[in-house]
Amino acid sequence: MGVGTVWVHVEPAPGGVASISLELLAAARRFGDAVEAVCSGGDADAVSAAVGEHGASLLRHLERPAEALVGPLLAASLAAAVAGSDDPPAVILAATTYDGRDVAGRLSARLDTPVITNVTELAVTDGALVGIEPVFGGTTNVHTRFTGAGPHVFLVRPKSFQATSVGGAPAQVVALPAADCGAGGAARVIGSHAEQSTGPKLDEAAVVVSGGRGLGEAGKYEMIEQLAGLLGGAAGASRAIVDAGWVPYSQQVGQTGKVVKPDVYIACGISGATQHLVGMKNSRNIVAVNKDSEAPIFGVADLGIVGDVHQVLPRLIEALQARD
C-alpha cells in the first residue's frame, strides 16, 4: 500500500516546528507506511509534541552546537544513520528552504543518490513515488520517479500541501548521533540577527501586496508598505527590485524567494516574469495593476487594472484610509 518508511526533515521554530515541516508531514502520511521526523537543534520536547500531533511516530533529534550550520552536520549524521539502520527509509523529504536544500544536497552527494527537487505534488504510480515539479513558470508539470536504489530524496516547495493535525501523542525521541563531517563542517555561525518586520509574515499573510519595477524608484515602495498595512497584509517584491537593492531579499516573491498563497495577492507594477509567477500564481485571488496591457501578470489576474501605479495606488490608499 504505502511506499515504506518516510523520514521527514523538520525545522525547529519557536514553540515547535516551522509550518512547512507540518506540510511535509501531511504529505508523508499520504503514502508512507511509517512517518518519522529528523531534526537538528531546537527543543526536542517541543519538536516531538509538534511532529507527533501531525503523525510522526519517532523523532531523531540531533543536538546541534550553536556555531554549526545545519546542512553539513545533519547530512553527515543522516547518512551515517541510513547506513547503520536495519530499516533504512525508502523516502526522505526535505523542504525547499535555506537549510532544507543544504541538507538534501549534501546528503545526496554523501549517499550518491539523486534528488527530485521543487516538488509541488507527490503521487504513487506502480508502487513508486512520483514527484511533480512545475516548469516554465508553472505552465507545465513534469512527473519524475527514481529508477535506482533508495533512499529517494525529494525536495518539496512550501505551500504545496495542507498541514493537518491528527492529534497524535508526542513522537518518541531518539538521539541522532552527530557524525564527523570533516572539512565540510568547518564554517562557524558567529552571530544571528533577526530583521525587524511589522505585521504578518510574508508567507503566512492573508493579503500580500507586492511591488515591482513599475514603481520607478525605491522611495515609491512606501506605497506598497502602506497599502499592505491598511489591508493587514504583508509587503512583497519582485526579483527586479530586490536585485536593484530597493528591498531586502527576504521580501522577494517568486521562484527564487518566497512562495505565497494568500487569499488576495495584489501585484503593483509587476510585469509577471515566469520567475515571479511561480511564487504567487496559486494565490486564491489575484489583483494586478500595471500600465502595460500586454503584461503577462494579466494572464493570471482575476481583476486587472491597466493603469499607472502612481495614479491608482495613491487613490486606493486614500480610499482605504477614508474607510477607517
Partner 1 sequence: MPFAPSRGHRRRPPGGRLGRVVIGLGEQQTLTVRIAVCVKQIPDPANPGRLDPDTKTLVRDEKLILDESDSYGVEMALQMAEATEGEVVVVSMAPNEEFGGLRTALAMGADRAILVSDEALAGSDALGTAKVLAAAIRRAEPDLILAATESTDGYTGTVPVQVAELLDLPSVTFAKSVSLGDGEVTVLRQTEDGYDEVACPLPAVLSVTAGVVEPRYPSFKGIMAAKNKPADRLGIADLGIEAGEVGWAGARQEIVEVAPVPAREAGEILTDDGSGHERIVAYLEELKIL
Q: How far is 10 from 162, CA to CA, in rounded Å? A: 15
Residue 321 in the binding site for partner 1 (CB under 8 A): no
Q: Cβ(153)–Cβ(7) under 8 Å?
A: no
Residue 191 in the binding site for partner 1 (CB under 8 A): yes
- 173 vs 301, beta carbon nearer partner 1: 301
Q: What is the 3-state secondary structure (H, E, C) of 55-107?
A: CCCEEEEECCCCCECHHHHHHHHHHHHHHCCCCCCCEEEEECCHHHHHHHHHH
- 170 vs 225, beta carbon nearer partner 1: 225
Q: Which stretch binds partner 1 (CB under 8 A): 37-45, 48-56, 162-170, 244-252?
A: 244-252
Phi-psi sector, 239: left (phi>0), alpha (psi -120 to 50), beta = alpha
- 162 vs 192, beta carbon nearer partner 1: 192
Element (H, E) at 36: strand 34-40
**From 85, 139, 172, 321, residue interacting with partner 1 (rule: CB under 8 A):** 139
Query: Count residues contacting partner 1 (CB under 8 A)?
Result: 97
* Nearest distance from C-beta of residue 262 to partner 1, angstroms: 10
Q: How far is 176 from 81, CA to CA, in rounded Å? A: 8
Footprint of partner 1 on 107-136 (CB under 8 A): 108-110, 112-118, 125, 130, 134-136
* Nearest distance from C-beta of residue 141 to partner 1, angstroms: 5
- 86 vs 126, beta carbon nearer partner 1: 126
Residue 195 in the binding site for partner 1 (CB under 8 A): yes
Residue 138 in the binding site for partner 1 (CB under 8 A): yes
* Nearest distance from C-beta of residue 242 to partner 1, angstroms: 6
Residue 286 in the binding site for partner 1 (CB under 8 A): yes
Footprint of partner 1 on 57-76 (CB under 8 A): 69, 71-72, 75
Residue 200 in the binding site for partner 1 (CB under 8 A): no
Residue 226 in the binding site for partner 1 (CB under 8 A): no
* Local structure of 198: helix, strand or coil: coil
Q: How far is 132 from 192, CA to CA, in rounded Å? A: 35
Rg (CA), the chain: 21
* Nearest distance from C-beta of residue 304 to partner 1, angstroms: 4
Residue 323 in the binding site for partner 1 (CB under 8 A): yes
Residue 198 in the binding site for partner 1 (CB under 8 A): no
Footprint of partner 1 on 289-308 (CB under 8 A): 289, 293, 298-308
Q: Cβ(173)–Cβ(44) under 8 Å?
A: yes
Measured CA to CA in angstroms, residue 324 lies from 5, 313, 318, 319 at distances of 54, 17, 10, 9
With CA atoms as reference, report the closest residue to 131 among 88, 161, 111. Answer: 161
